[in-house]
Structures are given as C-alpha cells and as structure tokens.
C-alpha cells in the first residue's frame, strides 16, 4: 500500500516525530583533489533521544551556517519537554562539528536538573 502524506499523518496521530537529517559523504573524491576532500557537512546538526543524558523530550538542531560562526552560539533544547534548557557551543566546538567530530555540551539548569548533550553532524 502506498504511503501518502495524509496516511502518514494519520498513523502518526498524536505522536511527535523528531527527525535529524544526517548528510552522507559520497565515498569518492573530486577529480584532481588527490582524494583528500572532506565529506560535505550535513544540512543540519543536532541531538535528540539518547544523545541527551536523562532525556525526556529535549532536542536541538544546529544550522549548517552556524558551523562557520566566530563567536559562541546558544541554542534551546526544549523539544517537546515542558521546560527549556540552553546549551552554548563555542566557536571551537562549532569548528569541530564541521569536521564531523561530535562535541558534548552541558545544558543550563532548569527544573532542578541539567543534561549533557552530544551534538553531531555526521
């Protein structure tokens, strides 16, 4: 049976779906680069589910354009939780994400707790 948008939304019902799109490096190299090209960065980076310690609905998405920031950037990790936390990624952490390496940031305290957030772009 063909899965239509209407059918998908009907099956999803009252659930919340968090999707993180991860880029895929093509495995080849561009002609003339000697095979040393970096895989392209994904459109978005982020964390959800078990990537956030003690998670209860939090999620975060980092825009690809932010990976070139020269100053620290702060992000809400509210997701579907009933409260919000923020994480701050330094310019060095954003540059690390751009290479495909994950970084860990500790959230602000809210509702009496914090979370360790493992952000990745692979």
State how many domains the chain has: 1
**Would residue 49 count as lying in a domain?**
yes
**Would residue 20 count as lying in a domain?**
no
**Would residue 103 count as lying in a domain?**
yes
Give the residue among 47, 94, 102, 44 at the shortest CA–CA distance from 68. Answer: 94
Domain that holds residue 45: 40-122
76-122, pLDDT tens digit by residue?
999 999 999 999 999 999 999 999 999 999 999 999 999 999 999 97
**Would residue 87 count as lying in a domain?**
yes
State residue 44's pLDDT score.
Answer: 79
**Would residue 58 count as lying in a domain?**
yes
**Would residue 76 count as lying in a domain?**
yes
Which helix (DSSP H) or strand (DSSP E) does residue 59 occupy? strand 59-63
- CA atoms of 16 and 105, how far apart (whole Å): 25
State residue 5's pLDDT score.
Answer: 46
């Amino acid at each position: 049976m063909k899965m239509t948008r209407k059918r998908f939304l009907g099956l999803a019902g009252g659930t919340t779906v968090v999707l993180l799109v991860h880029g895929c490096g093509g495995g080849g190299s561009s002609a003339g680069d000697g095979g040393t090209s970096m895989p392209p960065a994904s459109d978005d980076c982020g964390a959800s589910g078990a990537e956030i310690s003690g998670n209860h609905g939090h999620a975060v998405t980092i825009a690809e354009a932010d990976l070139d920031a020269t100053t620290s950037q702060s992000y809400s990790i509210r997701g579907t939780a009933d409260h919000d936390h923020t994480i701050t990624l330094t310019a060095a952490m954003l540059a690390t994400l751009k290479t495909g390496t994950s970084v860990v940031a500790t959230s602000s305290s809210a509702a009496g707790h914090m979370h360790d957030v493992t952000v990745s772009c692979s």
